[in-house]
Amino acid sequence: MSVQMLSVSIRPLLPVIVLLVTGMMVLFMDAFGAEGRESHYGYLGLAGLAIAGWLAFKMWGTHSLSFAHTLITDKLSIITSLIYFLIAGLTILFSPGYLRQEERNLAEYYALILFAVVGLVFMTSAQHLVLFFVGLEVLSISLYALAGFVRQRDLCNEAALKYLFLGGFASAILLMGMAFIYSVTGSLYFQDVARYVIHSHPSVALLLGIVLVLVGFFFKVSAAPFHAWAPDVYGGAPAPVAGFMATAAKVAVFGVMLRFLGMAVYPLKVHWIAVVTVVSVASMVIGNFAALRQDNIKRLLAYSSIAHAGYALVGVAAASRQGGAAVLFYMLAYSLMNLGAFGVVSLVGRKGERYVKISDYAGLAAKHPVLAAAMAICFFSLAGVPGTAGFMGKFYVFASGVRAGQIPLVVIAVLNSAVAAYYYLRVVYMMYMEEPKEEYVFTIHPAAVIALVIIVIGIFQLGLIPGGVLSASYSSFAWFMS
């Protein structure tokens, strides 16, 4: 490594720094500030995110390796960062009302979210597995805390406990995988691994390493058979947090997965495509079919998110630049609609999330037409009805699959999406075609409304005129081998 290795340019880190500073500010101001305006910290956080986003956006098009080549700033890292900021922002918008009704309106919450975002940014900017690992842990640790944030609620801290153990176990396996790769390649730089893989035959140890790393990835994106934690954790965690977990972590890990597979170990694609294919099928089937019988809407969304991970993996299995772009786009679309869904859940759930049965949504359309409409749009989008982001995402992913000749896989995927339509429709039917059982008494925080509006607009924008975003995500995978 040359001098450049020592060159430490702060510029790529500016967004992250901004976020960290904001997070700290939130904590300090909470410590010394006056009581009772905790939710303002949320807006502070939003401001931080906005600035960070602006800074990140300024870097669009630039390309740099810094910090001893461990940290890359390219279109992928920037676009994913923007997605994180968006997700975090929406989550924060949903939070104040929620936290107030849960009487847990603490500043830490916002700080944790900001720190989680820092972790996320590091994950997708990593060119070195360890940096990724650190980012991952930063994220996970914040999430452990967030998952159990409403600590007096038993479901909540049960979720935290499960997430803690399983997450820890997964990261241990990931580490072991890294260790095996290291044992063969002698380095954890993506480039070095790639260099090694190209010039030598795959050894058992290397494959083991790769598979173990993949297991770590799959766990984080809640792909079957490593999905078991997701329903329980999403089901227990506070709804906005669940939304955040279900989306942000997936985006990041998919980003890294694509970097890792498409850059470091691309030549072994015969092997990993097989693995990814199997996992994808498993996720779609298990996720969708298990969701058919769910009555708890949070768990239903959890299972659906498992299935969606499966769809996205189709794009990964395509092992192509387009596949990568498709996955990225799909993740963005998925994040929007899922956040929207969880957001509405957080509103309808009311104090202590007592109303999370699907039957609790009976006749929502009659009482809160707008809210119901937003929910319906999110669900139709999840179901992949054309005109919505969900359809475009699915379409692009499946297209990449077909193009890569993965036709059987795609056929399975589309049939699954047909099955999936059933349980999404059930919710819509509850809201529109059932008579309301009891009065809906809950206040909708204006911030939440703003969030929903943004989401709905986003869903239609991605569904009807996705051109810009598609080409952006396509261009951000220029490095993809093949």
Partner 1 sequence: MKLWVLGAVFIPLLGAAVNGIFLWITKKKAHLIAVPALFASCICSLVVLSKVLGGAHADFDLYLWIPVGKFVVPVGFLIDELSAVMLATVSFVAAWIHLYSIGYMEHETPRGYAKYFCWLNLFTFFMLLLVSANNFLLMFVGWEGVGLCSYLLIGYWYEKASAANAGMKAFVTTRLGDLGFMIGLFAIYKYYGSLMFANVFSHASILSSSLITVITLLLFVGAVGKSAQFPLYVWLPDAMEGPTPVSSLIHAATMVTAGVYMVARCHALYNLAPFSAEIVASIGAFTALFAATIALVNNDLKRVLAYSTISQLGYMFIGVGVGVYAAGIFHLFTHAFFKGLMFLTAGSVMHVLHGELNMQKMGGLIKKMPITGWTFVVGALAISGIPPFSGFWSKDEILAGAFFHGHPVVWIVGTFTAFLTAFYMFRLIFLTFFGKPRDAHLYEMAHESPPVMTIPLIVLAIGSALAGFFALGPHGGIVGFLNKTLGETVAHGKEAAGVGHLLLIISVAMGVLGIALAYSMYIRRVPDPVVMARTLRPIYTLLYNKYYVDEVYFAFIINPLVGGSRYVLWKFMDVAIIDGVVNGIGRLCRLVGSGVRQFQTGYIPDYVWMILVGAVVIYWIGILF
Partner 2 sequence: MMGGVAYPMLTVVTFFPLIGVLVLLFIDKESKNLIRWVAFITTVIEFILSMPLYFRFHLGTYHYQFVERIPWIKILGASYHLGVDGISLFLVLLTTFLTMLSILASWSIEKHVKEYMISFLLLETTMIGVFCALDMLLFYLFWEAMLVPMYLLIGVWGGPRRVYAAIKFFLYTMAGSVLMLVSIIFLYYHHYKVTGELSFSLIKLLATPVPAVVAPWLFLAFALAFAIKVPMFPFHTWLPDAHVEAPTAGSVILAGVLLKMGTYGFIRFCMPFFPHASLRFTGLFLVLAVISIIYGALVALVQDDMKKLVAYTSVSHLGLVMLGMFALTLQSVTGGLLQMVNHGISTGALFLLVGMAYDRRHTRLIKDYGGIARVMPIYSAFFLIATLSSIGLPGLNGFVGEFLALVGTFKSHPVFGALGATTSVLSACYMLWLVKRVFYHEITVTENLSLKDLGFREVVICLMFSIPMFWIGIYPKPVLKRMEPSVAHFIAQVKGEAAMAIEHSPQAKEKMSLAAYLVEERKVEVRP
Partner 3 sequence: MGIGVFPYIVLSVLVFLLGALGLMIRRNAIVMFLCLELMLNGVNIMFVALSRRMCSAEGQVIVLFVMAVAAAEAAIGMAVITAFYRVRGGVDVDRAQLMKW
User: Residues interacting with partner 2, by CB under 8 A?
Assistant: 320-322, 365, 369, 380, 385-387, 391, 395-396, 398-399, 402-408, 410-411, 414-415, 417-418, 421-422, 425-426, 428-429, 432-433, 465-467, 470-471, 474, 482
Rounded to whole angstroms, how far apart are CA atoms 99 and 208?
44
Residue 274 or 465: the one with the smaller Cβ distance to partner 1 is 274
Rounded to a whole number of angstroms, the minimum distance from the CB of residue 378 to partner 3 is 23
Provide the token pair at 38.
């905790």
CB 389 within 8 A of CB 382: no
Residue 233 or 389: the one with the smaller Cβ distance to partner 2 is 389
Cα-only R_g, the chain: 21
Contacting residue, 148, 315, 323, 458, with partner 3 by CB under 8 A: 148
CB 318 within 8 A of CB 406: yes
Rounded to a whole number of angstroms, the minimum distance from the CB of residue 299 to partner 3 is 8
Residue 126 or 389: the one with the smaller Cβ distance to partner 3 is 126
Rounded to a whole number of angstroms, the minimum distance from the CB of residue 262 to partner 1 is 17
CB 163 within 8 A of CB 144: yes
The H or E element that residue 73 is part of is strand 71-73
Q: What binding mask, one character per residue, do residues 216-235 give for partner 3 by CB under 8 A, x or -?
A: ---------------xx--x
Residue 145 or 309: the one with the smaller Cβ distance to partner 3 is 145
Rounded to a whole number of angstroms, the minimum distance from the CB of residue 121 to partner 1 is 27
Residue 305 or 322: the one with the smaller Cβ distance to partner 3 is 305
Rounded to whole angstroms, how far apart are CA atoms 138 and 133?
9
Which three-class secondary structure state does DSSP give residue 228? coil
Using rule CB under 8 A, residue 144 touches partner 3:
yes
The H or E element that residue 196 is part of is helix 190-199
Rounded to whole angstroms, how far apart are CA atoms 246 and 238?
12
Q: What angle do CA 263, 268, 270 make, to 5 degrees?
A: 125
CB 98 within 8 A of CB 350: no
Handedness of CA 347, 233, 218, 287 (dihedral sign): negative
Contacting residue, 24, 47, 172, 465, with partner 3 by CB under 8 A: 172
Using rule CB under 8 A, residue 62 touches partner 3:
no
φ, ψ dihedrals at 414, nearest 5°: -70, -40
With contacts defined by CB under 8 A, name the span among 39-47, 166-174, 264-272, 327-335 that binds partner 3. 166-174
CB 77 within 8 A of CB 84: no
Provide the token pair at 238.
């506070």
**71: which strand partners?**
66, 126
Residues whose CB falls within 8 Å of the CB of residue 247, separated by 6 or more in sequence, listed in order: 87, 331, 334, 335, 338, 339
Using CB distances below 5 to 8 A depending on partner kind, what does residue 219 bind out of partner 2, partner 1, partner 3, none?
Answer: partner 1
Using rule CB under 8 A, residue 193 touches partner 3:
no
Residues whose CB falls within 8 Å of the CB of residue 213, separated by 6 or more in sequence, listed in order: 129, 174, 177, 178, 181, 260
Using CB distances below 5 to 8 A depending on partner kind, what does residue 320 bind out of partner 2, partner 1, partner 3, none?
Answer: partner 2
φ, ψ dihedrals at 120, nearest 5°: -55, -50
Rounded to a whole number of angstroms, the minimum distance from the CB of residue 423 to partner 1 is 9
Residue 223 or 290: the one with the smaller Cβ distance to partner 3 is 290
Provide the token pair at 44.
């502070």
User: According to DSSP H, which parts of 247-320 are helical?
Assistant: 250-259, 269-292, 297-317
Using CB distances below 5 to 8 A depending on partner kind, what does residue 429 bind out of partner 1, partner 3, partner 2, none?
Answer: partner 2
Rounded to a whole number of angstroms, the minimum distance from the CB of residue 427 to partner 3 is 18
Q: What binding mask, one character per residue, do residues 87-126 give for partner 3 by CB under 8 A, x or -?
A: ----------------------------------------
Rounded to a whole number of angstroms, the minimum distance from the CB of residue 319 to partner 3 is 28
CB 201 within 8 A of CB 239: no
Using CB distances below 5 to 8 A depending on partner kind, what does residue 414 bind out of partner 1, partner 3, partner 2, none?
Answer: partner 2
Contacting residue, 5, 37, 186, 203, with partner 3 by CB under 8 A: 186
Choose among 164, 43, 160: nearest CA to 110: 43
Q: Report the half-sphere exposure of 318 (CA within 13 A, side-chain side).
A: 26
Rounded to a whole number of angstroms, the minimum distance from the CB of residue 299 to partner 1 is 9
Rounded to a whole number of angstroms, the minimum distance from the CB of residue 204 to partner 1 is 7
Contacting residue, 60, 158, 271, 399, with partner 3 by CB under 8 A: 158
The alpha carbon of residue 111 and the mean position of all alpha carbons in its chain are separated, in whole angstroms, by 19
- Which residues of the chain form contacts with partner 1 (CB under 8 A)? 161-162, 165-166, 169-170, 173, 204, 207-208, 210-212, 214-215, 219, 224-226, 228-229, 231-232, 270-275, 278-279, 285-286, 289-293, 419, 422
Residue 230 or 333: the one with the smaller Cβ distance to partner 1 is 230
End-to-end CA distance of the chain: give it in Å, rounded: 27
Rounded to a whole number of angstroms, the minimum distance from the CB of residue 164 to partner 3 is 5
Which residues are near partner 3 by CB under 8 A?
Answer: 130, 133-134, 137, 140-141, 144-145, 148, 151-155, 157-162, 164-165, 168-169, 171-172, 175-176, 178-179, 182-183, 186-188, 231-232, 235-236, 293, 299
